[in-house]
Amino acid sequence: STCRHGTAYSVIESHYSEILTETTYFVPLEQKFEYWRLKITNESQRRRELSIFSFCEFTNQWDTFQDRVNLQYSLFIVRGELTGENLLRIAIQDNLTPDTGGDFISDIARHCWMGMAEAPIDGFDTSREAFLGLYRGYHNPLVVESGRSTNSKAYGDNACGSLATSGSLQPGETREILILLGIGDAHTVGKRTFAEFGSLEQADAELEKLKTHWHAQLESLRVDTPDADLNHTINVWGLYNCLVNFAWSRSASLVYNGERDGLGFRDSVQDILGVAAAIPEPARERLELMLTGQLSNGGAMPIVRPFEHNPGHEEAPHPDEYRSDDCLWFFNALPAYVNETGDLDFYNKMLPYADRGEATVFDHLRRALDFNLERSGVNGLPCGLSADWNDTLRLGYHGESLFVAFQLRLGLATYAEIAERLGKPGQKSWALAEQKKLDASIQACAWDGEWFIWAIGEDGTVYGTQDSEEGQVYLNTQVWSVISEAATADQSARCMRTVHERLATPYGLMLCAPPVIKTSIDVMRAVVFNPGIKENAGIFNHTQGWGVMAACMLGDGDRAYEYYRASMPAAYNDRAELRQIEPYVQGQTTYSTYSPRGGNSRTSWLTGAAAWSYFSATQYILGIKPEVDGLRIDPCIPSSWNSFSAVRRFRNQSFHITVHNPHGVCKGVVRMLIDGEQAAGNLVPAGLPGKEHQVDVWLGP
Ligand code: GLC
């Protein structure tokens, strides 16, 4: 068998006993049913008689928690039958759920239906036990083995959906059958949907529509570099991962079972970085939602529940619940949107705070800075509060987070730039003055000689120093010292050297080293994890993009590329058994060399790794960076690349960019032509007349 995933569809192909089957699975756009399109070919030299069964096991209880804790109850509420229209009808709490004709009944009781098109129905089953048979399983279902459906009607216990057909195929002959499986009452929703969508022509049209929809989003950037793995990561899978992440946040996947129905604040704000170029409008809507999850004191609701969120009326969290980093991610995400669209006026938009009052987006930003400045510790660094980015860190309420100090520094610098743009010199000088004070505090307590410390506990303990036995070097404070430009040139070079010597593994950069084992759980909850995974000296993939960005900011394209490839899923395609998870998506964490299983990755799909990896590769390695005034082209590539090209959609124009690297350098634009004309510097100005433009860039010493 071969399984191929495309953009929102999957195809499974199997050869068995000279019968070839190919099934395409997808959910059409805006619909609440899925297609299974089955193509069967007789590859043998003789006529074949075939029986074909569809099968699906349904959940009885749609409430995921109840489904787990109250199985007995759910076994009394389901019924199944074949309707007069030849659709399977699976009904939950049928006495209580009058058919409204709509597809939503209630959160715990939704009906399902299944239909078969392009073939006559020979039989059906809706009882799982009847389909599988006693003492049997999915490996030997009785109905398939005997070749006959039992026409079972589920009445309690576990339901299933199986429709059967049969027929003969001549040598070489192909037949196609369509199964539709949807949510809603078969009598109304099912009937209506089947009538409209139950044909091969319609299925064709719907698949085309789906592909066009996804491909249009993926067309925001297409690259062609000497690295084929990087190309399809940027062109398809990396961005697709970001878009899926944006849609689902951390709510439902194979590893999140669906009870986390809210948008985690920090994660959702960071997700914007992955999608701002592809879907700027939805990105803005999400940003607005998250801005209204900010409280009037500048902190954030830990979770924003999109369906219940009531800006202006939310209850503020208990003071112990604030995380220190949440709103500081706006300083990455808001410029990402504004730079993409040029929509500077967004900063003037009035938006409510979660609890009370409203302010412009610019003022929301000011409040965010004030929140951390007002909650600073004895050394002048922001307090870590209930957590900084690292969920396992408990420094005590007044303990200080150097990571957040660097975030705050970047926030102040970004705020000063925005203030300048908006003509608010007072705000600009305020921010720069605060930044200066913060810099002095950082320099006074945070440098340890070869690297920056990790953090300072409430009791004054300094973590992450040469004297620390465990957690001696912490990745985030090194890379963010560079990203925030708080580090001096000498400190940058030294701490990134330390990162390379102490944290780099073939699978990515470890979050800290050595792992914590004896450290108190009251300070570092990471001790719960086996050494070498997650926050305990694992490779936390969310942070890998920061390593790439820091290396690029120091001009080291070879190192940036090395770090990027170490955590790029596609780089493991020929060693899939090592990484173990899906080879086309990011995982949250990878076992490091401190564990016996270095290289195994875990927790795929919904992770901040998707956004930062895409952002760092496109804006730092390839260096195609939107700014308010245009597209900055400033690559930092491996010296072995002679050239690369890219097509970037930017504000409704297409830029065909070719970067030439005749001298084998990593960085440094020495010449740029726009449509054959010499340009000053490396900014392609926004708003040039015409839809398509050719940009040629030369790197050189
Ligand atoms: C998980 C969380 C994220 C946090 C990270 C590090 O990925 O979703 O919010 O920053 O862990 O602890």
For the stretch 34-58, pLDDT in tens is: 999 999 999 999 999 999 999 999 8
How many CB atoms are located within 10 Å of the residue 232 CB? 15
Q: Which tokens go with 570?
A: 């596609």
CA-atom Rg of the chain in angstroms: 28
| Residue 259 confidence (pLDDT) | 65
98: pLDDT strictly greater than 80: no
**Alpha carbon of 147 to ligand 1 centroid (Å):** 50
Please indicate whether residue 249 or residue 697 has the higher confidence score (pLDDT): 697
Q: Which atom of ligand 1 is nearest to the CA of 540?
A: 6
| Averaged pLDDT, 138-149 | 97
* Atom 10 in ligand 1: residue holding the nearest Cα: 389
For the stretch 237-252, pLDDT in tens is: 999 999 999 999 888 7
- How remote is the C-alpha of 349 from its chain's centroid? 27
**Alpha carbon of 609 to ligand 1 centroid (Å):** 10
Q: How many residues does the chain have?
A: 701
Q: Which atom of ligand 1 is nearest to the CA of 588?
A: 7
Look up residue 668 and give its amino acid. G
| Residue 615 confidence (pLDDT) | 98
Q: Which atom of ligand 1 is nearest to the CA of 391?
A: 12
Work out the mean pLDDT of the chain and round it to a whole number: 96
How many CB atoms are located within 10 Å of the residue 326 CB? 27
| Averaged pLDDT, 277-305 | 97
| Residue 690 confidence (pLDDT) | 97
Q: Are strands 508-509 and 504-505 parallel, antiparallel or unpaired?
A: antiparallel
Among the listed residues 358, 336, 200, the one whose alpha carbon sits nearest the alpha carbon of residue 272: 336
Only one residue has tokens 């990105």, namely 283
Residue 399: band (very low, low, confident or very high) from pLDDT cuts 50, 70, 90: very high
For the stretch 612-633, pLDDT in tens is: 999 999 999 999 999 999 999 9
Residue 106: band (very low, low, confident or very high) from pLDDT cuts 50, 70, 90: low
Ligand 1 site-directed mutation target among 290, 332, 391, 394, most atoms within 8 Å of CB:
391
Supply the residues annotated as catalytic: 391
| Residue 65 confidence (pLDDT) | 77
Say what the pTM is.
0.95
| Averaged pLDDT, 581-597 | 96
Q: Which atom of ligand 1 is nearest to the CA of 608?
A: 7
Query: Using a CB cutoff of 8 Å and minimum separation of 24, what contacts does 341-345 make?
Result: 341/280, 341/284, 341/651, 342/628, 342/651, 342/686, 343/284, 344/421, 344/422, 344/628
| Residue 108 confidence (pLDDT) | 65
Residue 103: band (very low, low, confident or very high) from pLDDT cuts 50, 70, 90: low
Return all residues near 397 (Cβ < 8 A) that are at least 6 apart.
Answer: 320, 383, 385, 386, 458
* Atom 6 in ligand 1: residue holding the nearest Cα: 390
How many CB atoms are located within 10 Å of the residue 664 CB? 13
| Residue 252 confidence (pLDDT) | 76
- Give the three-state DSSP class for 446: coil
Residue 94: band (very low, low, confident or very high) from pLDDT cuts 50, 70, 90: confident
Sign of CA dihedral 306, 209, 568, 11: positive
| Averaged pLDDT, 556-576 | 97
Residue 645: band (very low, low, confident or very high) from pLDDT cuts 50, 70, 90: very high
Return all residues near 677 (Cβ < 8 A) that are at least 6 apart.
Answer: none
Q: Give the residues surrounding ligand 1 with Cβ less than 6 Å away.
A: 250, 264, 266-267, 389-392, 535, 542, 588, 608
Percent of the chain at pLDDT exceeding 90: 91
For the stretch 410-422, pLDDT in tens is: 999 999 999 999 9
What is the rounded CA–CA span in Å between residue 557 and residue 544? Answer: 15
| Residue 105 confidence (pLDDT) | 58
409: pLDDT strictly greater than 60: yes
Ligand 1 site-directed mutation target among 329, 389, 404, most atoms within 8 Å of CB:
389
For the stretch 451-509, pLDDT in tens is: 999 999 999 999 999 999 999 999 999 999 999 999 999 999 999 999 999 999 999 99
Residue 177: band (very low, low, confident or very high) from pLDDT cuts 50, 70, 90: very high
What is the rounded CA–CA span in Å between residue 129 and residue 663? Answer: 70
Beta strands in 411-505 (DSSP E): 455-456, 462-463, 473-474, 504-505
